Amino acid sequence: AQTVTQSQPEMSVQEAETVTLSCTYDTSESNYYLFWYKQPPSRQMILVIRQEAYKQQNATENRFSVNFQKAAKSFSLKISDSQLGDTAMYFCAFMIYGNQFYFGTGTSLTVIP
């Protein structure tokens, strides 16, 4: 069975500080893709960053970066220089090629001015 676990239901961070959201997953597959999605109060799901499991280099997108530890099946998201617009639910997800997406239960992040 494929599972995604986000153990932090809620987090907060001061504006301009750095925060890390945790995600672990379980799969017996060796080739898959990992994603972080953001869901702001509008409820529109927005892709933040993605990582291909066969790539060892951690993905980065501006202020967002990941720490991908394949052996540990860990995929954390780091947000640097947090901004008020980063306040949202964040979902970790992975997909096995040709299969469905599996989502975690989400982490609610609040950026405090």
Give the binding site for another protein (CB under 8 A): 6, 9, 33, 35, 37, 42-45, 47, 50, 52, 91, 93, 95, 97-98, 100-101, 103-106
The tokens for 15 are 């504006």
> Given the complex with another protein, which of 52 and 81 has the nearer CB atom?
52
With beta carbons less than 8 A apart as the criterion, state whether 38 and 21 touch: no
The distance of closest approach from Cβ of residue 79 to another protein in the complex, given in angstroms and rounded to an integer, is 18
What does the DSSP assignment read for 29-94? -SSEEEEEEEE-TT---EEEEEEETT--SPPEETTEEEEEETTTTEEEEEE-S--GGG-EEEEEEE
The distance of closest approach from Cβ of residue 15 to another protein in the complex, given in angstroms and rounded to an integer, is 26
> Given the complex with another protein, which of 86 and 106 has the nearer CB atom?
106
The distance of closest approach from Cβ of residue 14 to another protein in the complex, given in angstroms and rounded to an integer, is 25
> Given the complex with another protein, which of 14 and 60 has the nearer CB atom?
60
With beta carbons less than 8 A apart as the criterion, state whether 89 and 111 touch: no
